[in-house]
Structure 1
Amino acid sequence: MILDTLGVGFLGTSTEVFQKAREYSKIYSSNVSSTVWGQPDFRLPPTYAAFVNGVAVHSMDFDDTWYPATHPSGAVLPVLMALSEALPPSPKCSGLDLLLAFNVGIEVQGRLMHFSKEAKDIPKRFHPPSVVGTLGSAAAASKFLGLSMTECQEALAIAVSHAGAPMANAATQTKPLHVGNAARHGLEAAFLAMLGLQGNKQVLDMESGFGAFYANYAPKILPDVDSHTWLLDQQDVAFKLFPAHLATHWVADAAASVRKQLVRDRALLPTDHMERIVLRIPDVQYVNRPFPDSEPEARHSFQYVACAMLLDGAITASSFHKHQVNRPRVRELLGKVELEHPQDNLPNFNTLYCEISVALKDGAIFTERSDTFYGHWRKPLSQKDLQEKFRANACRMLSCHTVERLIEIVENLEDLEDCSVLTALLKEPSPPEIVSKSL
C-alpha cells in the first residue's frame, strides 16, 4: 500500500489539478498575511487568519443566529477582514465594498436555506454554518475579489465539496471549528477558482449537489436583480445576551420571571423548599443535557441554564466556567429538573416557546412562559444594548479608545474610504493593564 501510494503520488504531480493546488499553496510561502484579531504579534496567511478568527467568533456560541437556523456572520466577516488586509493596497478596498460582499455572503446562505423545509427546524443531522456558511464565505470572497460569473460558479461548486460537519460534535470544543472551517474553506474555494480549478456549475441545482445536505431541497430561480429584495430587509437576526445555544434563551427568560416570584428582597432562592422544576420545551436532543460537566456542555443544556438563572438571577460569560457548573447548589437543582415536550412546541427558532413550572413542597406552583426573549429577531436588541455588548466583549483585548473608534467606524462603514483603517484597529497592542489581567 505504501509503495503503491508513493507511486501514484509521484505520477499525480504531472496532473493539472496538482499544478493548481501547488500554485494555491504558494500563498503560504509568500509574504501575504492577515491579522489574527487582538494578537498584534501573530499573523497568518489569509485562509488561516479567517479560520482562527472564525473559530474565535463561535468559540462561546455567542455569535448571531438567523432563521432558518444558522450562524450567518462568523463564516463571512473573518474572510473579508483577512482579504481586505491581504489584497494589494491599490486599488483601496472601501467600507462599501466590504458591506456589499458581506451582504452577498449572508444573502447566499439565506437563499439556500429557504430552498428547504428541513432547514427551518433546529438541525439534527449537520451543523448549518458548516454547510451554508461555507457557501456564504465563498460567495463573499468571490464578490470582494471581483471574480467573474464563471469563477463565482466554480467557487461555489468547489465550496460544496468542502461543506458539512455532523451535529454529534455539538457541545464540544470541536463545534467552533465548524465556523472556522466554513470561513477557511470558502476563501480557499474562491482562490482555487481564480486559478482555474473547475467544478460542476449546476451543483446548486442538483439533488446530488447541494441537495445532498437536505432531503427536501427544492431550488428556485432567484428574483431579477432589479426587483430583488435582500433577506436582511425582511428579517433581523438574533443577538445573544449570554453565550449559549439560542434555544436556552427562552428558558432563561422564563426562569427569570419565575425567580421574581420566588425571591423577594434579595433573599436566597429557597432550594430546600423546591420539589421539582418542569421545563416544557421542544425536543432538541443535543441541548438536553441533565448534568453537564464542561463549559461547552453547559452552553448546550436547557437544564443548566434554567438552574443558573433561578439561582443567580442573571447569566453571563462566567456562568459557564466549570467551577460554576459544578457548584453543589447547581447540581442539587439539576436533580429536580424534568422535561416535557408539548406537541405544539416544535423545534423551530421562529415558533418555539418555553414554559417553566417550579413546584414547592407545600404544594404551591409558580409558572411562567416565554414566547420571545429580548434579542430575538421579533424583539431585537436596541442599538445602545448592542454597543454595550460589544464594549463588554472587546474591552478585554483593546483599549477603551480603540473600542469607541471601532463602534464609530462600523456604524458608518459605508463612508469608509479605506478598509485598512478598520483592520489596523483589530491588531492594536493590548494595554499593559489588560495583558496583566488576562494573564
Structure 2
Amino acid sequence: MTPTGRLAGFVAETSPGELPAEVVAAAKVAILDGLANIVAGAGQPVAQRVACWATAQGGTTESTVVGGRQLPSALAAFVNGVAGHCLDYEVQGYPSAHGTSSILPAALALAERTGASGAALVTAYAVGWDVQQRLRTAGERTASRSFHPPGVVGPLGAVAAAASVLGLDAVAAATAFGLAASRAGGLFANNGTMAKALHPGGAARAGVECADLAALGVTSNTEILDAHRGFADALFAGEADWDAVTDGIGKRFHLVDPGFSIKPYPAEIYMQWPIDAAATLRARHRLSAEDIAAVVVEPPLYRADLSRPAPATGLDGKFSYEYCVTAALVQDRVGIGTFADAVRFSPAVEQTLPKVVLRENPDIPKDKLDTWARVTVHTHDGRELRETCHSFPGSVARPMDRDARILKVADCLASVGAEDRVTRLVDVVERLEEVEDLTELTALLG
C-alpha cells in the first residue's frame, strides 16, 4: 500500500474510544493550550482583520469563531486558525511544526457543524497531529528551508482531522489528501509579518474544504504523497523517509512519542532557550537596563533570519534573538504584551538592544531535544554574569505540570479580558472525551 493509502486507512480506521489513555490525555493538554491561544490571539490586529474580511463574505452560519459569530465552517476554521497562531504561543511538535492552529480549528468547525462528540474532536486532533508529524519527520532531512512547515504539512494534518470528523472511508480520505496536498505552501520570508499566521489558518481552511469536497465526490490523485511530481517530489526533493510515515502507525502516536513542547514565551521556538536564560539572569541578579554594558548570546541555532538587531515591530521581535533577550533582561516577565510596539520602542529596550550581539557556538547541538543556549551579561561595575538554559520549562525534557499549564491558559484569557472563563474552559476540556456535544465548549469562545 502506498504512503497515502496507509495514512488514509489510519484516518478511516481510528474511531473515538479507541485511542490509548495517554494519547487522549496528551491531546486534551494540547487542545486546552490551543483554545487559549485562539481566544487570546483573536485580540490581535491580524486576527481582527481576517475576521472582518471573513464576516463580510456572508454565507451559511455553521461554526463559531471567537467573539460568538458564526460563519461557514471553512471560514470559521480560517479565522480561528489565524487567531490560534498569530501569538506564536501554541504547542510545538518535534520536529518543529505548529500543529494545533492547523488541526484544531478544522476539527472544531466540523465537529460543531455535524454535532460530533468531544471524543470525536479528541480523536480527530490526535489523528491530525500524527499525520502532520509523520510527514514532517519524513521530510526533515530534505525539506526546503524556504517553506514554513505549517503551510507544507499543515493542510495534510488539517484534512486528516476533518476527514476523521466526517467519518470518510479510506478512499475518500485518500482523495481528501490529494486535494489538500495541492494547497501546500507558505514561505519563511513572511515570518515577522501578519502573513505568517495565514499559513496555519489557510491550512485549517483547506482541511475543511478538501474533506467536504472529497465527500461530495471531487476527485484527486489518491497516491499524491509519493506520486511522480507529487507532494514529496515538490517539497521533499523526492527523498522522503517513508518509513517515518508508516512505521508503528496506529500504535505509536507522536503526541506522546516524542511528545511536544508547551511554549512558556510567545515567540519563535528557538527563542525559548535564550529568553529563559536571560530571564533567569535578571531575576537572580536583579538586573536593570542601567546595569547592562554588553550582552553576548550563544543561540541554539545560528541562522541569519533569526538575527534581527533592530526589529521593525514588536511582532518582528518574536523572531529576533537580540530583541527577545533584551526584553527578558529589562522586563520582569516576557508575555503577550512584550511584543507590542510600545514595548519594542520603549526607552529600556532602545537603550539595551544595541548592546546585544550573537556568537555562534559550534559545540551547541542542532537537535532540539539536545540543544541549549547561553547568555552572558557584562555589567558596568565589572561583573560577568552567565546563564545556560538546557531545557526551557514546557520542553519535552522539562514538561509543565498542570498548575503551570493552567497559569498559561489564564494569562492568555486575561489578555483579552476573558479571565472569568478559565475555570469553565479547563473543566470542559479536561472531561472532553465524555462530552456528548460541543455546545458548552463553543459557547466559551463567544
Same structural fold, with TM-score higher than 0.5 when normalized by the shorter chain: yes
- Paired with 1:365 and 1:397, the residues of 2 have a C-alpha distance of 40
Counterpart position of 1:291: 310
1:300 maps to a residue whose letter is: F
Q: Deviations over 1:335-375 (max 9, x none)?
A: 11111111233544323211111223555322111111101
2:407 maps to a residue whose letter is: E
- TM-score norm. by structure 1 comes to 0.82
- 2:322 equivalent to 1:303: yes
- Paired with 1:233 and 1:328, the residues of 2 have a C-alpha distance of 44
- Paired with 1:250 and 1:127, the residues of 2 have a C-alpha distance of 21
- 2:430 equivalent to 1:423: no
- Paired with 1:402 and 1:381, the residues of 2 have a C-alpha distance of 21
- Paired with 2:77 and 2:145, the residues of 1 have a C-alpha distance of 27
| Offset of residue 213 of structure 1 | 1.2
Counterpart position of 2:170: 149
- Paired with 1:206 and 1:156, the residues of 2 have a C-alpha distance of 12
- Structure 2 residue aligned with 1:80, among 93, 107, 110? 107
- Paired with 1:343 and 1:189, the residues of 2 have a C-alpha distance of 44
1:244 partner SS:
coil
Aligned residues: 386
| Offset of residue 256 of structure 1 | 2.1
- Paired with 1:163 and 1:375, the residues of 2 have a C-alpha distance of 29
Counterpart position of 1:435: none
- Paired with 2:429 and 2:123, the residues of 1 have a C-alpha distance of 14
Counterpart position of 2:278: 255
- Paired with 1:119 and 1:424, the residues of 2 have a C-alpha distance of 43
Contact 1:374 1:381 in 2 (8 A): yes
CA pair 420-313 structure 1, distance change in 2 beyond 3 A: closer
CA pair 365-126 structure 1, distance change in 2 beyond 3 A: same
Contact 1:293 1:326 in 2 (8 A): no
| Offset of residue 156 of structure 1 | 0.5
Unaligned runs of 5+ in 1: 1-27, 428-439
Contact 1:402 1:425 in 2 (8 A): yes
- Structure 2 residue aligned with 1:139, among 149, 157, 160? 160
- TM-score norm. by structure 2 comes to 0.81
Matches within 5 A, 1:237-256: 237-256=260-279
Counterpart position of 2:17: none
Contact 2:89 2:267 in 1 (8 A): yes
Counterpart position of 1:107: 130
- Paired with 1:255 and 1:130, the residues of 2 have a C-alpha distance of 31
Q: Deviations over 1:11-46 (max 9, x none)?
A: xxxxxxxxxxxxxxxxx8763421112x12x22110
Unaligned runs of 5+ in 2: 1-56
Counterpart position of 1:350: 369
- Paired with 2:176 and 2:431, the residues of 1 have a C-alpha distance of 30
Q: Deviations over 1:258-310 (max 9, x none)?
A: 224542xxx74443xx4321111121222211011212111111111111111
1:195 maps to a residue whose letter is: L
- Paired with 1:30 and 1:329, the residues of 2 have a C-alpha distance of 48
- 2:80 equivalent to 1:53: yes
Q: Deviations over 1:231-254 (max 9, x none)?
A: 222122111222111111111111
- Structure 1 residue aligned with 2:217, among 168, 186, 196? 196
- Paired with 1:105 and 1:370, the residues of 2 have a C-alpha distance of 32
Higher mean C-alpha deviation, range 357-366 or range 109-118: 357-366
1:98 partner SS:
helix
Contact 1:237 1:377 in 2 (8 A): yes
Contact 2:156 2:180 in 1 (8 A): yes
Counterpart position of 1:213: 235
| Offset of residue 403 of structure 1 | 2.9
- 2:85 equivalent to 1:62: no
1:294 partner SS:
coil
Contact 2:124 2:164 in 1 (8 A): yes
2:113 maps to a residue whose letter is: A
CA pair 406-261 structure 1, distance change in 2 beyond 3 A: closer
Counterpart position of 1:18: none
Higher mean C-alpha deviation, range 397-406 or range 50-59: 397-406
CA pair 327-208 structure 1, distance change in 2 beyond 3 A: same
Contact 1:69 1:119 in 2 (8 A): no
- Structure 2 residue aligned with 1:275, among 270, 280, 293? 293
Identity %: 32
- Paired with 2:331 and 2:349, the residues of 1 have a C-alpha distance of 10
Contact 1:84 1:420 in 2 (8 A): no
- Paired with 2:280 and 2:313, the residues of 1 have a C-alpha distance of 27
